[in-house]
């Protein structure tokens, strides 16, 4: 079994055969992380309901939570208008980030350099 | 002026010098789109408060809304744990997608192939 041909036909992969997958907590809307998928990872994600990625650093498939227990149960998957990005809505068990943070974006808010986003950040 | 050296030191760019930027509506949590930034685009985004990207197809900087009017006012910017993805929280004027959809992910929900996400999708 491989990725449904109708989906594969819509997918626009980068030079390494990958598309970025944005992962979002389905109910709170938190953006948890970004990971990468090839056709097979997307196929496994759609058919198993468990978020599955391609690890660029390790060069292998990676079922989120298999080692950490921090599983992502897939609620919905959509492709963007260009077919080159996937949005995954999941129910995240525990921390999404390998650092133990809930999301991969918690630790590093960027300091505005010249006040461009100062006013906006003040409301956070 | 170029990107703050402390931020530049944390940024991990792909082979083309780019990082993906996830764009999220700051109050509703909707994921609007994904675009790409180089150092200069991130610098301009941080210092002007207007979301600015690098267009891979046109090979030029692109201030979101300059032609469409569908401006993104930047509320917060953060880097992920690996420094290879940016999350932009914005206030989106009008449609984020060039198709006229509110988000780039509205048009193409993927049909689950073998029921992997069927139960989850039923709750949408």
pLDDT tens-digit map of B5-45: 999 999 999 999 999 999 999 999 999 999 999 999 999 99
Closest Cα to residue B15, out of B48, B56, B46, B50?
A: B56
Q: Residue range B42-62: average pLDDT?
A: 96
Closest Cα to residue A36, out of A10, A16, A8?
A: A16
Q: Can you give the pLDDT at residue B122?
A: 39
Q: Does B96 contact A at CB distance below 8 Å?
A: no
**Number of Cβ within a 10 Å radius of residue A91:** 13
pLDDT averaged over every residue in chain B: 90
Which residues, other chains included, contact A91 with Cβ-Cβ below 8 Å and sequence gap of 6+?
A25, A26, A27, A72, A73, A75
- C-alpha of A42 from chain center: 11
Structure tokens at A9: 């036909």
Q: Does A9 contact B at CB distance below 8 Å?
A: no
Q: Can you give the pLDDT at residue A108?
A: 85
Contact B112 A47 (CB under 8 A): yes
Percent of chain B with pLDDT over 70: 89
**Number of Cβ within a 10 Å radius of residue A83:** 15
Q: Are A66 and B91 in contact (CB under 8 A)?
A: no
What is the interface pTM, i.e. ipTM, of the complex? Answer: 0.90
Q: Does B40 contact A at CB distance below 8 Å?
A: no
pTM: 0.90
pLDDT tens for A6-43 read 999 999 999 999 999 999 999 999 999 999 999 999 99
What's the rounded Cα separation, in Å, for the pair A81 and B107?
7
Q: Can you give the pLDDT at residue A114?
A: 47
CB contacts, 8 Å: B8 with chain A: none
Contact B81 A108 (CB under 8 A): yes
CA distance B83 to chain A (A): 9
| 3-class SS of residue A24 | strand
Closest Cα to residue B14, out of B83, B111, B108?
A: B83
Q: Does B67 contact A at CB distance below 8 Å?
A: no
Question: Terminal CA-to-CA distance of chain A, rounded, Å?
Answer: 46
CB contacts, 8 Å: B75 with chain A: 117, 120-121, 123-124
Give the dihedral of Cα atoms B60, B20, B12, A123; nearest 10 deg: 100
Backbone angles phi, psi at A74, to 5 degrees: -80, 125
What's the rounded Cα separation, in Å, for the pair A18 and B16?
15
pLDDT tens for B103-120 read 999 988 886 544 555 433
């Amino acid at each position: 079994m491989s990725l449904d041909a109708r989906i594969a036909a819509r997918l626009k992969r980068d030079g390494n055969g990958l598309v970025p997958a944005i992962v979002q907590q389905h109910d709170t809307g938190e953006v948890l992380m970004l990971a990468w998928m090839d056709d097979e990872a997307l196929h496994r994600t759609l058919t198993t309901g468990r978020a599955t990625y391609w690890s660029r650093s390790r060069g292998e498939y990676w079922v989120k939570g298999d080692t950490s227990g921090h599983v992502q149960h897939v609620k919905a998957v959509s492709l963007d208008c260009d077919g080159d990005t996937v949005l995954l809505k999941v129910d995240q068990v525990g921390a999404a980030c390998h650092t133990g943070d809930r999301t991969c974006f918690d630790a590093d808010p960027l300091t505005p350099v010249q006040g461009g986003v100062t006013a906006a950040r003040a409301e956070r």
